[in-house]
Amino acid sequence: MLKVKRFTGKETVSINEIIATLDELVKLDPVWMQKRCLTRYACNAKIRDHESVQVHCYNDATTHDPKAGCIGLLNGLLGVDERHYGPVAAERDENATLTGFKLTPYPKTEASKTKSDRKEK
């Protein structure tokens, strides 16, 4: 019998919960997740220009050869920062094999650094 999680009525899900679920799926079937999450497919200009999809454009930073995948769709829905990066980042090993997910690293500015960070200089 197929086992299915039922909707719990929860209105929000945190990014950390999303990452934990993605990590669980990588452990269950790493090959399937690698193919689903790290493969980008060609898309048209309407998808490229849609605000809810994070698209990578090859050959040119703005328009040429746009491609998107599951993580780009997920990140687009979750929102992007001023660098146009979404909150979910894939982790890969030295062979580019998917090993899990993490929060997208955000570069520290002087204003966001802690006192201990400033002392490291």
pLDDT, tens only, 16-29: 999 999 999 999 99
**What is the reported pTM?**
0.72
Is residue 47 within 8 Å of 57, Cβ to Cβ? no
Query: Please, what's the largest Cα pairwise distance for the chain?
Result: 59
102 forms bridges with which residues in the sheet?
Answer: 89
- What's the confidence (pLDDT) of residue 61? 57
Summarised one tens digit per residue, pLDDT across range 60-102 is 556 678 888 999 889 888 987 877 788 999 999 999 999 999 9
For the chain, domain boundaries = 15-106
